[in-house]
Amino acid sequence: MAVPTQITFRNMETSPAVETQLRQRADALEQYFPSIIACRIAVETAHRHQRKGRLFHIRIRLSVPGREIVVSRDPGEHHAHEEIQVAIRDAFDAARRQLEDHLRHLDGKIKAHEAPAHGRIVRLIAEGDYGFIESATGEEIYMHRDSVVGGRFEDLRVGDEVRYVEHPGESEKGPQASTVVPLGKHHLPPPPT
């Protein structure tokens, strides 16, 4: 780390053993994300009213290029956090997960979900329990009654707008929608010619 780890104890006495454990855990985070600039850790206790024991609160602030990651393990009534080692473990596990997510984001490995396609019903074959959607590009997409969600196949009419997710494989009738959500009768722009 470019800046040495800073540790603060609140509402409790400083503990060299806990401080050593915190520094080791902070150093270990660099295995997951070597570009950590700074790490600030606050450990505090809150006395529990009308009960024995005290709960430990751990807060970690990590400065990394392009972002600050904050973990606040405020256990509420989590009895396991009466043990400082458990509170430390949980806080650093959360910090590691956030660092891994940030690294995946930087590497472009976070999956971006495509928005469902928009189309219009052009044919319905009631006795066959299927129909066809015209995509924005004019292509016909096969749909089966079982792919309709948020409505009933029986309520669909030619001209109704739908959002759909195209199945990666094709059916015997061509491209196929795996999910079809009726939108009602709105106005779609005409397909490009």
Residue 27, pLDDT score = 93
Looking at the structure, do residues 91 and 177 belong to the same domain, yes or no? no
Looking at the structure, do residues 134 and 154 belong to the same domain, yes or no? yes
Residue 110, pLDDT score = 54
Could you report the average pLDDT of every consecutive run of 10 residues in the chain (193 residues)? 88 91 93 88 72 77 85 61 84 89 75 72 88 88 87 89 80 81 61 48
- 123 domain residue, yes or no: yes
Domain that holds residue 180: 117-184
Looking at the structure, do residues 123 and 99 belong to the same domain, yes or no? no
Render pLDDT for 84-111 as a digit per residue (tens, 0 to 9): 888 899 889 989 988 888 888 777 765 5
Q: What is the CA radius of gyration of the chain?
A: 28
Which of 48, 76, 107 is the last residue in one of the domains? 107
- 61 domain residue, yes or no: yes
Looking at the structure, do residues 67 and 34 belong to the same domain, yes or no? yes
Backbone phi, then psi, for 111, in 5-degree steps?
Answer: -70, 125
Looking at the structure, do residues 51 and 133 belong to the same domain, yes or no? no
Which of 78, 107, 136 is the last residue in one of the domains? 107
- 179 domain residue, yes or no: yes
Looking at the structure, do residues 71 and 130 belong to the same domain, yes or no? no
For 23, residues 6+ apart whose C-beta sits below 8 A from its C-beta are 5, 7
Beta bridge partners of 46: 55
Number of domains in the chain: 2
- 150 domain residue, yes or no: yes
Looking at the structure, do residues 90 and 158 belong to the same domain, yes or no? no
Looking at the structure, do residues 22 and 90 belong to the same domain, yes or no? yes
Looking at the structure, do residues 32 and 86 belong to the same domain, yes or no? yes
- 193 domain residue, yes or no: no
Residue 113, pLDDT score = 56
**CATH number where 26 lies:** 3.30.160.100
What does the alpha-carbon distance between residue 44 and residue 21 come to, in Å, rounded to a whole number? 15
Q: What percent helix, strand, coil does the chain show, rounded to 5?
A: 25, 40, 35
Looking at the structure, do residues 16 and 94 belong to the same domain, yes or no? yes
Looking at the structure, do residues 152 and 63 belong to the same domain, yes or no? no
Looking at the structure, do residues 86 and 143 belong to the same domain, yes or no? no
